[in-house]
Structure 1
Amino acid sequence: MADLEAALLDYYDYITWWPASGDQTDTNTERIMPGTRLLYMYMDLSIAKWCVKEHCLVCNSNNLGAMVTSLPLYLTNVTSEEGCTKLYAFADGSRLINYLELAWDANFVAVLPSNYFVKIGELLVLIVDSSLLAFDVFTRQCQAYELDADYCKYYIVYARKCLFSAPDVG
Protein backbone atom coordinates (compact mmCIF):
# COMPACT_ATOMS: atom_id res chain seq x y z
CA MET A 1 0.00 0.00 0.00
CA ALA A 2 2.87 2.38 0.75
CA ASP A 3 4.20 1.85 -2.81
CA LEU A 4 0.82 2.81 -4.23
CA GLU A 5 0.62 5.98 -2.12
CA ALA A 6 4.17 6.94 -3.14
CA ALA A 7 3.34 6.42 -6.82
CA LEU A 8 0.27 8.59 -6.44
CA LEU A 9 2.21 11.40 -4.73
CA ASP A 10 4.86 11.31 -7.46
CA TYR A 11 2.17 11.39 -10.11
CA TYR A 12 0.27 14.35 -8.59
CA ASP A 13 3.23 16.63 -9.35
CA TYR A 14 2.51 16.26 -13.07
CA ILE A 15 -1.26 16.22 -13.40
CA THR A 16 -1.80 19.93 -13.85
CA TRP A 17 -0.42 19.68 -17.38
CA TRP A 18 -0.08 16.00 -18.20
CA PRO A 19 -2.40 14.59 -20.90
CA ALA A 20 -4.29 11.47 -19.92
CA SER A 21 -2.55 9.43 -22.62
CA GLY A 22 0.88 10.14 -21.08
CA ASP A 23 2.01 11.62 -24.41
CA GLN A 24 3.17 15.22 -23.90
CA THR A 25 2.66 15.93 -27.62
CA ASP A 26 -1.00 14.87 -27.38
CA THR A 27 -3.20 17.82 -28.38
CA ASN A 28 -6.67 16.41 -27.64
CA THR A 29 -8.72 17.89 -24.82
CA GLU A 30 -8.57 14.92 -22.45
CA ARG A 31 -6.84 15.86 -19.21
CA ILE A 32 -6.38 14.25 -15.80
CA MET A 33 -8.69 15.76 -13.21
CA PRO A 34 -6.60 17.28 -10.37
CA GLY A 35 -7.47 16.17 -6.85
CA THR A 36 -9.22 12.96 -7.87
CA ARG A 37 -8.72 9.56 -6.27
CA LEU A 38 -7.31 6.47 -7.88
CA LEU A 39 -9.64 4.18 -9.80
CA TYR A 40 -8.92 0.55 -10.60
CA MET A 41 -9.36 -1.90 -13.44
CA TYR A 42 -8.95 -5.59 -12.64
CA MET A 43 -7.37 -8.05 -15.06
CA ASP A 44 -4.88 -10.90 -15.30
CA LEU A 45 -1.14 -10.32 -14.94
CA SER A 46 -0.25 -10.49 -18.64
CA ILE A 47 -2.83 -7.84 -19.57
CA ALA A 48 -1.76 -5.62 -16.63
CA LYS A 49 1.87 -5.77 -17.78
CA TRP A 50 0.82 -4.91 -21.33
CA CYS A 51 -1.27 -1.93 -20.11
CA VAL A 52 1.72 -0.51 -18.21
CA LYS A 53 4.14 -1.05 -21.11
CA GLU A 54 1.84 0.41 -23.76
CA HIS A 55 0.19 3.13 -21.60
CA CYS A 56 -3.24 1.71 -22.37
CA LEU A 57 -6.51 0.71 -20.74
CA VAL A 58 -8.26 -2.27 -22.24
CA CYS A 59 -11.95 -2.07 -23.04
CA ASN A 60 -13.37 -4.52 -20.53
CA SER A 61 -16.98 -3.85 -21.54
CA ASN A 62 -18.33 -4.36 -25.05
CA ASN A 63 -20.86 -1.54 -24.73
CA LEU A 64 -19.22 0.81 -22.25
CA GLY A 65 -15.54 0.89 -23.26
CA ALA A 66 -13.03 0.96 -20.40
CA MET A 67 -14.80 0.45 -17.08
CA VAL A 68 -13.01 1.31 -13.81
CA THR A 69 -14.15 1.31 -10.20
CA SER A 70 -13.30 2.83 -6.85
CA LEU A 71 -13.32 -0.72 -5.37
CA PRO A 72 -9.80 -0.73 -3.89
CA LEU A 73 -7.41 -3.63 -4.28
CA TYR A 74 -6.47 -3.84 -0.61
CA LEU A 75 -9.81 -4.83 0.99
CA THR A 76 -8.99 -8.12 2.67
CA ASN A 77 -12.61 -8.39 3.88
CA VAL A 78 -13.78 -8.80 0.26
CA THR A 79 -13.17 -12.13 -1.43
CA SER A 80 -11.69 -12.09 -4.90
CA GLU A 81 -14.64 -14.21 -6.02
CA GLU A 82 -17.14 -11.59 -4.77
CA GLY A 83 -15.26 -8.71 -6.39
CA CYS A 84 -14.94 -10.46 -9.74
CA THR A 85 -18.56 -11.68 -9.72
CA LYS A 86 -19.79 -8.10 -9.19
CA LEU A 87 -17.47 -6.76 -11.89
CA TYR A 88 -18.68 -9.48 -14.28
CA ALA A 89 -22.31 -8.50 -13.66
CA PHE A 90 -21.57 -4.82 -14.31
CA ALA A 91 -19.33 -5.20 -17.35
CA ASP A 92 -21.25 -6.77 -20.20
CA GLY A 93 -18.41 -8.97 -21.33
CA SER A 94 -15.19 -8.42 -23.21
CA ARG A 95 -12.90 -10.31 -25.54
CA LEU A 96 -9.92 -9.45 -23.35
CA ILE A 97 -11.11 -9.76 -19.75
CA ASN A 98 -13.37 -12.44 -18.30
CA TYR A 99 -13.98 -11.57 -14.65
CA LEU A 100 -15.20 -15.06 -13.76
CA GLU A 101 -11.84 -16.53 -14.74
CA LEU A 102 -9.98 -13.87 -12.71
CA ALA A 103 -11.55 -14.79 -9.39
CA TRP A 104 -8.46 -16.49 -7.96
CA ASP A 105 -5.64 -14.48 -9.53
CA ALA A 106 -6.72 -10.88 -10.06
CA ASN A 107 -4.26 -8.08 -10.70
CA PHE A 108 -5.07 -4.41 -11.23
CA VAL A 109 -3.97 -1.21 -12.86
CA ALA A 110 -4.58 2.09 -11.09
CA VAL A 111 -5.43 5.28 -12.97
CA LEU A 112 -6.44 8.82 -12.16
CA PRO A 113 -9.61 9.66 -14.09
CA SER A 114 -9.73 12.26 -16.83
CA ASN A 115 -12.55 14.53 -17.85
CA TYR A 116 -13.65 11.76 -20.28
CA PHE A 117 -14.66 9.39 -17.46
CA VAL A 118 -18.38 9.29 -16.64
CA LYS A 119 -19.87 7.79 -13.48
CA ILE A 120 -22.47 5.20 -14.47
CA GLY A 121 -23.41 3.63 -11.16
CA GLU A 122 -22.25 1.74 -8.11
CA LEU A 123 -21.13 -1.79 -7.29
CA LEU A 124 -22.59 -3.21 -4.09
CA VAL A 125 -20.02 -5.63 -2.74
CA LEU A 126 -20.67 -8.11 0.07
CA ILE A 127 -17.89 -8.11 2.64
CA VAL A 128 -16.94 -10.97 4.95
CA ASP A 129 -19.13 -9.74 7.85
CA SER A 130 -22.20 -9.87 5.51
CA SER A 131 -22.62 -6.11 5.11
CA LEU A 132 -22.61 -4.31 1.77
CA LEU A 133 -20.21 -1.59 0.65
CA ALA A 134 -20.86 0.66 -2.36
CA PHE A 135 -18.15 1.61 -4.85
CA ASP A 136 -18.43 3.97 -7.81
CA VAL A 137 -18.16 2.71 -11.38
CA PHE A 138 -16.93 4.92 -14.23
CA THR A 139 -16.51 4.37 -17.96
CA ARG A 140 -14.40 5.95 -20.65
CA GLN A 141 -15.46 5.40 -24.24
CA CYS A 142 -12.73 5.01 -26.82
CA GLN A 143 -12.46 8.22 -28.82
CA ALA A 144 -12.60 8.63 -32.60
CA TYR A 145 -8.82 9.20 -32.79
CA GLU A 146 -8.20 5.82 -31.09
CA LEU A 147 -8.21 3.31 -33.90
CA ASP A 148 -8.56 0.07 -31.94
CA ALA A 149 -11.82 -0.62 -30.09
CA ASP A 150 -10.07 -3.05 -27.69
CA TYR A 151 -7.97 -0.46 -25.89
CA CYS A 152 -7.45 3.27 -25.42
CA LYS A 153 -4.22 5.17 -24.74
CA TYR A 154 -4.09 6.06 -21.08
CA TYR A 155 -1.38 6.61 -18.49
CA ILE A 156 -1.20 3.91 -15.81
CA VAL A 157 -0.14 5.07 -12.34
CA TYR A 158 0.52 1.65 -10.81
CA ALA A 159 -0.09 -2.07 -11.30
CA ARG A 160 0.12 -4.98 -8.88
CA LYS A 161 -1.58 -8.13 -7.59
CA CYS A 162 -4.81 -7.61 -5.63
CA LEU A 163 -5.01 -8.24 -1.91
CA PHE A 164 -8.59 -9.51 -1.85
CA SER A 165 -8.97 -12.49 0.45
CA ALA A 166 -9.59 -16.04 -0.65
CA PRO A 167 -13.01 -17.45 0.31
CA ASP A 168 -13.30 -19.13 3.70
CA VAL A 169 -13.57 -22.87 3.07
CA GLY A 170 -13.67 -23.92 6.70
Structure 2
Amino acid sequence: MGTRWKVPVLTQVMLILMEYINLKPRFHSNQSVAFALACYLAGLSSWRSFLPHSTLLYYYGRLSYVRYAVPLSGVYAVDETRVRLVRGEYYYLWVVRDVNIKGIPFFMLSSVRSGVHVLVVLANMEKAEGGARKVFNTRIDEVIYLHDGATAYNAFSWFNTRG
Protein backbone atom coordinates (compact mmCIF):
# COMPACT_ATOMS: atom_id res chain seq x y z
CA MET A 1 0.00 0.00 0.00
CA GLY A 2 2.24 2.85 1.21
CA THR A 3 1.61 6.56 1.45
CA ARG A 4 3.55 9.80 1.48
CA TRP A 5 2.11 10.82 4.86
CA LYS A 6 4.09 10.00 8.00
CA VAL A 7 2.77 7.77 10.78
CA PRO A 8 2.32 10.54 13.43
CA VAL A 9 0.24 12.60 10.99
CA LEU A 10 -1.85 9.61 10.00
CA THR A 11 -2.36 8.69 13.65
CA GLN A 12 -3.74 12.15 14.42
CA VAL A 13 -5.97 12.05 11.34
CA MET A 14 -7.31 8.63 12.33
CA LEU A 15 -8.08 9.87 15.85
CA ILE A 16 -9.95 12.89 14.49
CA LEU A 17 -11.93 10.79 12.02
CA MET A 18 -12.76 8.22 14.69
CA GLU A 19 -14.09 11.05 16.85
CA TYR A 20 -16.15 12.55 14.01
CA ILE A 21 -17.88 9.28 13.09
CA ASN A 22 -18.21 8.31 16.77
CA LEU A 23 -16.17 5.10 16.45
CA LYS A 24 -15.30 3.70 19.88
CA PRO A 25 -13.31 0.45 19.93
CA ARG A 26 -14.38 -1.98 22.65
CA PHE A 27 -11.25 -3.96 23.44
CA HIS A 28 -8.48 -1.53 22.43
CA SER A 29 -7.86 2.15 23.07
CA ASN A 30 -8.54 4.75 20.38
CA GLN A 31 -4.83 5.58 20.27
CA SER A 32 -3.72 2.00 19.71
CA VAL A 33 -6.24 1.43 16.91
CA ALA A 34 -5.33 4.76 15.27
CA PHE A 35 -1.60 3.97 15.49
CA ALA A 36 -2.09 0.48 14.03
CA LEU A 37 -4.16 1.89 11.16
CA ALA A 38 -1.54 4.56 10.49
CA CYS A 39 1.22 1.94 10.38
CA TYR A 40 -0.89 -0.18 8.04
CA LEU A 41 -1.48 2.78 5.71
CA ALA A 42 2.23 3.63 5.81
CA GLY A 43 3.10 0.17 4.50
CA LEU A 44 3.33 -2.21 7.46
CA SER A 45 1.76 -5.61 6.86
CA SER A 46 -1.54 -6.16 8.63
CA TRP A 47 -0.15 -9.47 9.91
CA ARG A 48 2.72 -7.69 11.69
CA SER A 49 0.48 -5.27 13.57
CA PHE A 50 0.12 -5.55 17.35
CA LEU A 51 -3.67 -5.69 16.84
CA PRO A 52 -5.19 -8.92 15.56
CA HIS A 53 -5.27 -9.05 11.77
CA SER A 54 -9.06 -9.22 11.55
CA THR A 55 -9.48 -6.34 14.01
CA LEU A 56 -7.17 -4.10 12.02
CA LEU A 57 -8.96 -4.87 8.76
CA TYR A 58 -12.35 -4.31 10.42
CA TYR A 59 -11.42 -0.77 11.51
CA TYR A 60 -9.76 -0.14 8.16
CA GLY A 61 -13.06 -0.99 6.50
CA ARG A 62 -14.97 1.28 8.86
CA LEU A 63 -12.72 4.25 8.06
CA SER A 64 -12.34 3.56 4.34
CA TYR A 65 -13.61 5.91 1.74
CA VAL A 66 -17.24 5.02 1.25
CA ARG A 67 -19.34 7.00 -1.18
CA TYR A 68 -22.80 7.53 0.21
CA ALA A 69 -25.44 10.23 0.00
CA VAL A 70 -26.36 12.22 3.07
CA PRO A 71 -29.30 14.63 3.22
CA LEU A 72 -28.02 18.20 2.96
CA SER A 73 -29.58 21.50 3.99
CA GLY A 74 -27.32 23.99 2.18
CA VAL A 75 -25.75 25.54 5.29
CA TYR A 76 -22.22 24.21 5.81
CA ALA A 77 -19.47 24.91 8.31
CA VAL A 78 -16.01 24.56 6.76
CA ASP A 79 -13.03 24.20 9.05
CA GLU A 80 -9.43 23.22 8.67
CA THR A 81 -7.58 21.76 11.64
CA ARG A 82 -3.83 21.90 11.80
CA VAL A 83 -2.22 18.56 12.65
CA ARG A 84 1.30 19.26 13.87
CA LEU A 85 4.29 16.93 14.05
CA VAL A 86 7.02 17.08 16.67
CA ARG A 87 9.60 18.52 14.28
CA GLY A 88 7.44 21.49 13.32
CA GLU A 89 5.86 20.08 10.17
CA TYR A 90 2.11 20.33 9.93
CA TYR A 91 -0.79 19.30 7.72
CA TYR A 92 -4.39 20.44 7.45
CA LEU A 93 -7.49 18.31 7.86
CA TRP A 94 -10.41 19.99 6.06
CA VAL A 95 -13.88 19.04 7.30
CA VAL A 96 -17.22 20.22 5.89
CA ARG A 97 -20.16 19.68 8.22
CA ASP A 98 -23.82 20.36 7.55
CA VAL A 99 -24.97 22.77 10.26
CA ASN A 100 -28.61 21.65 10.37
CA ILE A 101 -28.32 17.90 9.74
CA LYS A 102 -24.92 17.40 11.46
CA GLY A 103 -23.60 15.15 8.68
CA ILE A 104 -20.08 15.31 7.23
CA PRO A 105 -20.39 15.17 3.44
CA PHE A 106 -16.69 15.82 2.72
CA PHE A 107 -13.23 15.85 4.32
CA MET A 108 -9.67 15.86 2.99
CA LEU A 109 -6.04 16.15 4.10
CA SER A 110 -3.60 18.65 2.57
CA SER A 111 -0.11 19.86 3.29
CA VAL A 112 -0.95 23.57 2.82
CA ARG A 113 -3.90 25.86 3.35
CA SER A 114 -4.72 27.85 0.23
CA GLY A 115 -7.54 29.09 -1.96
CA VAL A 116 -7.01 26.16 -4.32
CA HIS A 117 -7.96 23.77 -1.54
CA VAL A 118 -11.11 25.78 -0.89
CA LEU A 119 -11.97 25.29 -4.57
CA VAL A 120 -11.45 21.53 -4.15
CA VAL A 121 -13.90 21.66 -1.24
CA LEU A 122 -16.43 23.56 -3.38
CA ALA A 123 -16.12 21.12 -6.30
CA ASN A 124 -16.58 18.09 -4.07
CA MET A 125 -19.51 19.67 -2.26
CA GLU A 126 -21.24 20.18 -5.61
CA LYS A 127 -20.82 16.45 -6.26
CA ALA A 128 -22.23 15.65 -2.81
CA GLU A 129 -25.21 17.94 -3.42
CA GLY A 130 -25.83 16.25 -6.77
CA GLY A 131 -25.87 12.84 -5.10
CA ALA A 132 -28.24 14.06 -2.39
CA ARG A 133 -30.49 15.60 -5.05
CA LYS A 134 -30.80 12.26 -6.86
CA VAL A 135 -31.33 10.09 -3.77
CA PHE A 136 -33.53 12.33 -1.61
CA ASN A 137 -35.29 14.40 -4.33
CA THR A 138 -34.39 17.60 -2.52
CA ARG A 139 -33.50 20.93 -4.01
CA ILE A 140 -31.03 23.32 -2.41
CA ASP A 141 -31.81 26.86 -3.52
CA GLU A 142 -29.17 28.73 -1.56
CA VAL A 143 -25.85 27.46 -0.23
CA ILE A 144 -24.12 29.22 2.67
CA TYR A 145 -20.60 28.37 3.87
CA LEU A 146 -19.64 29.37 7.40
CA HIS A 147 -15.91 29.71 8.09
CA ASP A 148 -13.44 31.40 10.41
CA GLY A 149 -12.33 34.18 8.04
CA ALA A 150 -8.87 32.90 7.10
CA THR A 151 -7.47 34.39 3.90
CA ALA A 152 -7.76 31.06 2.07
CA TYR A 153 -11.54 31.42 2.21
CA ASN A 154 -11.40 34.48 -0.09
CA ALA A 155 -11.63 31.87 -2.85
CA PHE A 156 -15.38 31.70 -2.20
CA SER A 157 -15.69 35.04 -4.00
CA TRP A 158 -14.08 33.57 -7.15
CA PHE A 159 -17.26 31.58 -7.78
CA ASN A 160 -19.68 34.10 -6.26
CA THR A 161 -20.39 31.69 -3.43
CA ARG A 162 -21.82 33.09 -0.23
CA GLY A 163 -19.29 32.40 2.48
TM-score, normalisation: structure 2:
0.28
The structure whose RCO (Cα within 8 Å, separation 6+) is larger is: 1
TM-score, normalisation: structure 1:
0.28
Name the structure with the higher strand share: 1
Larger radius of gyration: 2
Name the structure with the higher helix share: 2
